[in-house]
């Protein structure tokens, strides 16, 4: 908390809100308050360096920090410290590294930090609170202004508990959720009074007000060219190993092993690192399976990978979860609406992991970074007059590509007809609500990827890193939502890996992920390494609806009065009548919102009672 006009913070409220956070940080609890500023922290120890860490932490009693952070490239950062200040104080914890960086470089420090972080630093000299969120938003950061009081947390429900924060909803966020399944505005939340700091942004609060700025965007100009293909592979192997090692500074870690190449590559790299005595870690694999709901080959492939790497594996039967199961259970409730009726399965997955580990590695990100496009690359070679490269790459690409017909067919469909699998703008939206928020224009606006400083040869790969789905996924997997003491980490989203992959020539290295396949030669079973990338052959939600033949949703639902201004109930049709997965995903959202509204209102007073009794 920070009162911009200098009024003393409510220490009892600070203590109560901090105690509320004990469920996500059971290892230590402390608060700091001095006049107009108060910081509270509950510790979740997930690395060897954090075993004796305590927060809020200070540097010379002038700088104070509370941070949810894991800093990468630690040795490089320490070398920068030595260059800037030869007699700098040696530190090891992540929060101390951030404090040291701020002491040396001020607010510019965020441009030098790598890793997953959300933090706030109280600068007593400047009477300023400086906050930042990492490049991809892996760590949440929510805030609110209550008069002159600035309140923040990495847990949304904690901010909601302030007695002057209202329950009023943000209609724009509700409209986005009904259309897209999430709030596409990364500066707001579902609640009118609470905002979020977007990824790659920092925020400064002082008596003059609040200043927010962006400190990073996905790179567009990097270029890496080697003479020999082996050099690209070797460089990538070095980077992915460093990325996994930085996320494996713990004695035991889980791996979300899907049976695909990406997660298997992370598992293989982690296995090699754990075989090194200096980085030894006990590894466990966890895999979601859908049998007997549907024949699922991923489970078989994941078992093969686990056996090959000698990693114990556990399976979670996702089909055991029913539609809207436990929607009224406080232990499996999301702070914001979720468009997945099988959302309870996420809690089951993290409960399974939490029995063994506090860290889980995930292979997400590779598909985006290695998304292949040949046409922009060919145009770039023409623009730069690289005709030798053009004559070399185009024939090679045409020889490797199985057929040009799929690409032609997609373009013809885009020109002469609508994609039959695309969802239709919903008729069940309340007309006044849709008109007031201009939802049809919003629907068109988000039908394509946004272009942020488009990449000259990798436009989709670069733009896909900025879509709001990333931060939404990370927030749903955070301990503040799952209530499980597990942090998920993403080696492919390491900045070293991101910068490298966006600087490569897309052909041949991104074509069918040849770079990753070559890097894993001899390190994975061939059934996994050479497995072609294919779209899922089934949708769990569709399969559940087909099995629940007697289900008449939404006919059997008791509707919340809060839904009346958003949805026309008479326009909703039983979900079992629909077969298009995209349309089902759209039409199920009113039900998801309805159940969330009912559960959210019901537990509001329980939360406040919990804080009052802390």
Q: Which of 481, 516, 534 is the last residue of a domain?
A: 534
Q: What is the DSSP string of 132-169?
A: EE-TT--S--EEEEETTEEEEESSHHHHHTSTT----B
Q: What is the pLDDT of residues 308-353, one digit of tens each?
A: 999 999 998 876 667 888 888 888 889 999 998 888 889 999 999 9
- Per DSSP, the three-state class of 252 is strand
Q: Is residue 436 part of a domain?
A: no
Residue 412 confidence class, pLDDT cut points 50, 70, 90: very low
| Residues 57 and 90 occupy one common structural domain | yes
Residue 398 near residue 407, CB atoms below 8 Å: no
> What pLDDT does 200 receive?
97
Distance CA 403, CA 410 (A): 13
| Eight-state DSSP code of residue 124 | T
| Residues 556 and 521 occupy one common structural domain | no
Q: Is residue 366 part of a domain?
A: yes
Q: Is residue 76 part of a domain?
A: yes
Q: Is residue 591 part of a domain?
A: yes
Q: What is the pLDDT of residues 213-245, one digit of tens each?
A: 999 999 888 889 999 999 999 999 999 999 999
CA distances from 298 to 14, 294, 305, 599 (A): 47, 11, 10, 34
> What pLDDT does 599 receive?
85
Task: Inform me whether the pLDDT recorded for 542 exceeds 80.
Answer: no
Q: Is residue 385 part of a domain?
A: no
| Residues 195 and 309 occupy one common structural domain | no
Sign of the alpha-carbon dihedral angle for 480, 486, 488, 494: positive
Task: Inform me whether the pLDDT recorded for 293 exceeds 90.
Answer: no
Distance CA 259, CA 524 (A): 11
> What pLDDT does 602 receive?
56
Distance CA 132, CA 112 (A): 12
Please report, for the domain that includes residue 466, its CATH number. Answer: 3.40.50.620
Q: Which of 214, 240, 255 is the last residue of a domain?
A: 214
Residue 413 confidence class, pLDDT cut points 50, 70, 90: very low
| Residues 150 and 75 occupy one common structural domain | yes
Distance CA 260, CA 264 (A): 6
| Residues 45 and 194 occupy one common structural domain | yes
| Residues 62 and 197 occupy one common structural domain | yes
**Which tokens hold the place of 267?**
């598992």
Q: What is the pLDDT of residues 482-508, one digit of tens each?
A: 999 999 999 999 999 999 999 999 999
> What pLDDT does 419 receive?
58
Q: Is residue 377 part of a domain?
A: no
Task: Inform me whether the pLDDT recorded for 612 exceeds 60.
Answer: no
- Mean of all residue pLDDT scores within the chain: 88
Q: Which residues of 70-99 are buried (b: 16+ CB within 10 A; e: fewer)?
A: bbbbbeebeebbeeeeeeeeebebbbbbbb
Residue 21 confidence class, pLDDT cut points 50, 70, 90: very high
| Residues 355 and 499 occupy one common structural domain | yes
| Residues 45 and 70 occupy one common structural domain | yes
Q: Is residue 438 part of a domain?
A: no
| Residues 50 and 123 occupy one common structural domain | yes
Q: Using H for helix, E for strand and C for coil, what is the string for 258-312?
A: CCCHHHHHHHHHHHHHHCCHHHCCEEEEEEEECCCCCCCHHHHHHHHHHHHHCCC
| Residues 279 and 328 occupy one common structural domain | yes
| Residues 73 and 98 occupy one common structural domain | yes
What is the residue range of 338's domain? 229-370+454-534
Q: Which of 514, 534, 554 is the last residue of a domain?
A: 534
Distance CA 377, CA 390 (A): 9
What mean pLDDT do residues 553-568 have?
A: 82
Number of separate domains in the chain: 3
Distance CA 257, CA 302 (A): 6
Q: Is residue 599 part of a domain?
A: yes
Q: Which residue has the tokens 């409220």?
A: 13
CA distances from 547 to 31, 497, 544 (A): 52, 43, 5
Please report, for the domain that includes residue 128, its CATH number. Answer: 3.60.20.10
Q: What is the pLDDT of residues 52-76, one digit of tens each?
A: 899 999 998 999 999 999 999 999 9
Residue 435's H or E segment, with its range, is helix 431-436
**Among candidate residues 588, 298, 199, 300, the one with its CA nearest the CA of residue 428:** 588
Q: What is the pTM of this model?
A: 0.93
| Residues 530 and 547 occupy one common structural domain | no
């Amino acid at each position: 908390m920070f009162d911009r006009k200098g009024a003393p913070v409510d220490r009892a409220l600070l203590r109560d809100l901090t105690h509320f956070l004990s469920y996500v940080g059971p290892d230590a609890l402390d608060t700091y308050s001095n006049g107009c500023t108060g910081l509270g922290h509950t510790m979740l120890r997930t690395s060897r360096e954090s075993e004796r860490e305590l927060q809020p932490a200070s540097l010379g009693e002038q700088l104070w920090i509370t941070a949810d952070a894991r800093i990468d490239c630690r040795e490089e950062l320490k070398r920068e410290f030595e260059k800037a200040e030869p007699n700098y104080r040696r530190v090891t914890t992540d929060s101390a590294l951030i404090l040291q960086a701020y002491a040396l470089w001020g607010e510019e420090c965020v441009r030098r930090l790598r890793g997953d972080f959300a933090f706030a630093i109280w600068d007593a000299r400047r009477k300023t609170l400086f906050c930042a969120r990492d490049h991809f938003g892996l760590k949440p950061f929510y805030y609110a202004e209550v008069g002159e009081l600035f309140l923040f947390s990495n847990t949304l429900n904690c901010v909601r508990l302030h007695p002057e924060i209202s329950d009023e909803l943000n209609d724009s966020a509700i409209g986005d959720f009904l259309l897209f399944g999430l709030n596409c505005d990364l500066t707001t939340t579902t609640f009118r009074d609470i905002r979020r700091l977007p990824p790659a942004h920092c925020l400064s609060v002082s008596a003059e007000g609040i200043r927010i700025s962006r400190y990073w965007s996905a790179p567009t100009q990097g270029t890496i060219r080697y003479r020999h293909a082996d050099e690209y592979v070797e460089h990538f192997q070095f980077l992915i190993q460093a990325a996994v090692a930085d996320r494996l500074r713990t004695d035991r870690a889980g791996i979300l092993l899907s049976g695909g190449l990406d997660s298997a590559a992370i598992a293989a790299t982690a296995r090699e690192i754990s075989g090194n005595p200096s980085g030894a870690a006990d590894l466990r694999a966890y895999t979601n399976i859908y049998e007997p709901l549907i024949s699922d080959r991923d489970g078989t492939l994941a078992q093969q990978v686990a056996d090959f790497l000698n990693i114990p594996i556990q399976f979670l039967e996702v089909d055991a979860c029913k539609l809207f199961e436990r929607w009224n259970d406080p232990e499996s409730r999301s702070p914001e609406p979720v468009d997945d009726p099988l959302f309870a399965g996420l809690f089951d997955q993290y409960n399974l992991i939490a029995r063994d580990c506090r860290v889980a590695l995930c292979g997400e990100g590779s598909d985006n970074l290695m998304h292949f496009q040949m046409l922009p690359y060919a145009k770039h070679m023409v623009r730069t007059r690289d005709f030798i490269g053009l004559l070399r790459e185009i024939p090679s690409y045409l020889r490797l590509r199985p057929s040009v017909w799929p690409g032609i067919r997609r373009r013809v469909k885009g020109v002469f007809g609508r994609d039959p699998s695309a969802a239709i703008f919903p008729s069940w939206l309340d007309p006044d609500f849709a008109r007031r928020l201009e939802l049809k224009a919003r629907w068109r606006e988000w039908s394509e990827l946004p272009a942020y400083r488009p990449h000259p040869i990798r436009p989709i790969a670069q733009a896909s890193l900025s879509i709001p789905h990333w931060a939404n996924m990370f927030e749903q997997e955070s301990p503040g939502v799952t209530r499980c003491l597990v942090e998920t980490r993403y080696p492919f989203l390491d900045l070293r890996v991101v910068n490298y992959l966006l600087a490569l020539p897309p052909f041949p290295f991104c074509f069918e992920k040849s770079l990753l396949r070559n890097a894993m030669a001899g390190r994975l079973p061939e059934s996994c390494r050479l497995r072609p990338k294919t779209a899922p052959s089934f949708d769990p939600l569709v399969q559940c609806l087909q099995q629940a033949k007697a289900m008449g949703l939404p006919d059997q639902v008791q509707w919340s009065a809060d839904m009346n201004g958003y949805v026309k109930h008479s326009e909703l049709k039983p979900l079992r009548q629909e077969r298009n997965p995209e349309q089902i995903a759209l039409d199920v959202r009113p039900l998801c919102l309805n159940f969330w509204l009912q559960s959210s209102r019901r537990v509001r007073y329980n939360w406040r009672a919990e804080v009052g009794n802390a």
